[in-house]
Amino acid sequence: MKNKRFAIVLDTRRCIDCKACTVACKAENNVPLGRDNHRNWVTEEPLRGSYPNLGQSFTPGQCMQCGNTPCERVCPTRATGVNQDGIVTVEEKKCIGCKYCMTACPYNARYYNEEIEAVDKCTFCAHRVYSGRLPACVETCPTKVRVFGDLNDPQSEVSKLLAKNPHRVLKPEMGTKPYLFYLI
Amino acid sequence: MTTLALPKRPGEILWFGLLGAGMLAGAVAVAMVLVKGHAHVYNVTREIPWGILISTYVFFVVSSTGLCLVSSLGDVWGFEKFEIIGRRGHLLAILTLVTGFGTMAMELNHPIRMGIYAIISPNFTSAIWWMGALYGLYLVLLICEFTFLMLGNRRLAFISGLLGFFAAITAHSNLGAVFGLLEARHYWYGSFMPIYFILSALVSGGALTALIVYFNHKARGRELSPKYAEFMLTMGKLQALFLGILMFFVVWKIIPGLYGQPPEKYEATMALINGPLAVNFWFFEVLIGMLIPFLILVNPKTRTVFGVMFAGMMTTIGIFFMRYDLVIAGQLVPMREDSARGAHGLLSYFPSLAEIAIVIGAIAVCLFLYTLAEKIFDLEGGHRH
């Protein structure tokens, strides 16, 4: 979509590690069963403190829809592309299964989908977004960890959240310019 | 051309029997992959998508480049002693390259799709696209050079050989870049890989050249002529030099991985030093692959024809492990913390039986084609004794 730059802002303090996002994503996008097969995930950070005063944080993640895309750069057949709105895509019929994009992604956001016979990953549920709906993970999250929207619109919730709150991205040192922002 | 002769000696029958068994094992594994699919047959994972088939592919194409570079010393660079291995070296360079492509095709999920979309939808920023293009060009030039060598056309052999020499260096350094351009993989990233690949190719080529000269005589029950014996000794000295430089390179590959404990690079380096790849590294890469062959080759007493062959055989085995270690070590550090499942906080990979069978099959196919080619072509050329 022209003149848009989609992003997700996450408030990880709200995450309860229920993994509803992963389940919703799998159901929405026909992700095959299997340990390796997932478009999004929840990283369980190490336990803090000592018993009985324990704490733990969780960091949900998915394809970061990077502004500087190593996956697109390395794909020999241009199977991986980037839409005008920043959504990183995989054109199934062009994917040769070399898995170069998987080694290039610093977030391990890609997997090989045996059913569609191509590398697969989160697309922000582009099919839903382009018909005016929210990504499945955003819609399903019971504690509203994720907020989805257009960063080019200063009135969008994502723009406002980032304007108001300090935030970070994962692995900034990689220079990938991710569009998943984590509130601090 | 000579007619295709059936094996006559028991040794030859055993040789073809072994190769036949190896090829059968490979064929069964290939059939399993085609029927069941990669995911059910290979042990590669989401986190370690490149396994032993990729490292074997690298091993084969390193061998091809090395054979081309070493063989070019005679036909292209005018070192007369090396002219006697021109035909054999270039032939084996073609066969190792083709076998390498075959191994790669088994790792790719869509080799046919690759042929189509690499042409109609090329991505010039992809090192893998360039790898295909440059190795394709290199293969054509190798075939040209081999043809001209067989026809005895020295001028055209020189021209195609010179072009092939540069194609070999370009293609192979680019293969190093396939790894070296991955910013996400700190162990691989940087300009070291392309340079290291070229140097290790010379070692690989030198080792294989010594092997083919020795065994071509041994298999036929012939004594090495003085010219070949002298070649072997020269090759031994050159190989000692190549190995010396390779050891220097390996030391400088390790030091930056340890110094200051750079994140991710350090963990991958430690996987070799004191982790899951330690036996592969210290025993196969260092001891078998470099140190013992180097000691054999620098000592004039052990630098005999047999010694040069033996060192070559050890180096070839060592280089195979070197490729495996390189490909696997670069992927052992998880990209996400929650992925680590093995010891040392690293991921784990061990090739499946089918993956190993395909590797054995590939080696057997290569040796079978070479043995067959020895029977079909006149590879002595103008250097018959």
Residue B340 lies in a domain: no
Report ipTM for this prediction. Answer: 0.92
Do residues A125 and A88 make contact, with C-beta atoms less than 8 angstroms apart? no
Instruction: With cut-offs at 50, 70 and 90, classify the pLDDT of residue B339.
Output: low
Cβ count within 10 A of residue B296: 24
Residues B67-95 have pLDDT tens digits of: 999 999 988 888 888 988 989 999 999 99
Residue type, B127: A
pLDDT mean over B244-250: 96
pLDDT mean over B333-344: 77
Looking at beta carbons, which residues of chain A come within 8 Å of B45? Answer: 36
Helix (H, G, I), strand (E, B) or coil at B247: helix
Interface contact B182-A103, CB threshold 8 A: yes
| DSSP letter, residue B5 | P
Instruction: With cut-offs at 50, 70 and 90, classify the pLDDT of residue B342.
Output: low
Looking at beta carbons, which residues of chain A come within 8 Å of B132? Answer: 76
**CB interface of A with B, residues 50-79, below 8 Å:** 61, 70, 73-79
Q: Which of B110, B182, B338 sits opposite A104 (nearest CB)?
A: B182
| Residue keyed to tokens 């059913």 | A115
Residue B227 lies in a domain: yes
How many Cβ contacts (< 8 angstroms) between chains A and B? 117
Residue B10 lies in a domain: no
Interface contact B123-A75, CB threshold 8 A: yes
Q: Nearest residue of A to residue B40 by CA position? A: A114
Residue B36 lies in a domain: no
Report pLDDT for B6: 53
Alpha carbon dihedral A167, A168, A169, A173, in 10-degree steps, equals 150
Report pLDDT for B345: 84
The number of distinct structural domains making up chain B is: 1
Strands A180-183 and A6-10 come out as parallel
How close is the nearest chain A Cα to the Cα of B301, in Å?
A: 47
Report pLDDT for B224: 87
Interface contact B110-A104, CB threshold 8 A: no
Q: Which of A45, A70, A76 sits opposite B128 (nearest CB)?
A: A76
Report pLDDT for B219: 81
Residue B360 lies in a domain: no
Residues B92-142 have pLDDT tens digits of: 999 999 999 999 999 999 999 999 999 999 999 999 999 999 999 999 999
Looking at beta carbons, which residues of chain B come within 8 Å of A100? Answer: 126, 128, 178
pLDDT tens track, chain A, 184 positions: 789 999 999 999 999 999 999 999 999 999 999 888 999 999 998 889 999 999 999 999 999 999 999 999 999 999 999 999 999 999 999 999 999 999 999 999 999 999 999 999 999 999 999 999 999 999 999 999 999 999 999 999 999 999 999 999 999 999 999 999 999 9
- Domain ranges, residue B58: 43-335+346-351
Residue B179 lies in a domain: yes
How close is the nearest chain B Cα to the Cα of A81, in Å?
A: 11
Provide the whole-model pTM: 0.93
Q: What percent of chain B has pLDDT over 70?
A: 95
Q: Which of B129, B330, B331 sits opposite A76 (nearest CB)?
A: B129
Give dist(CA B40, CA B42) in Å, integer. 6
DSSP for B203-218? HHHHHHHHHHHHHHHH
Position B5 pLDDT exceeds 60: no
Report pLDDT for B340: 64
Do residues A97 and A112 make contact, with C-beta atoms less than 8 angstroms apart? yes
Q: Nearest residue of B to residue A108 by CA position? A: B335
Residues B272-300 have pLDDT tens digits of: 999 999 999 999 999 999 999 999 999 99
Cβ count within 10 A of residue A102: 27
| DSSP letter, residue B339 | G
Nearest to B97 by CA among B125, B77, B67, B74: B67
Do residues A104 and A96 make contact, with C-beta atoms less than 8 angstroms apart? no
Give dist(CA A139, CA B171) in Å, integer. 49
Q: Nearest residue of A to residue B120 by CA position? A: A77
- Who's near B301: CB < 8 A, 6+ residues apart? none
Q: Nearest residue of A to residue B112 by CA position? A: A96
Best residue in A98, A112, A122, A176 to probe B by mutation, most B CBs within 10 Å?
A: A98
Residue B213 lies in a domain: yes
Instruction: With cut-offs at 50, 70 and 90, classify the pLDDT of residue B385.
Output: very low
How close is the nearest chain A Cα to the Cα of B319, in Å?
A: 23
Mean pLDDT for all residues in chain B? 92
Here the CATH number for the domain that contains residue B184 is 1.20.1630.10
Which residue numbers of B have CB closer than 8 Å to A's CBs? 37-39, 44-47, 49-50, 108-111, 113-114, 117-118, 121-123, 125-129, 132, 178, 181-185, 330-331, 334-339
H-helix or E-strand spanning residue A158: helix A157-164
Residue B225 lies in a domain: yes
Give dist(CA B36, CA B224) in Å, integer. 49
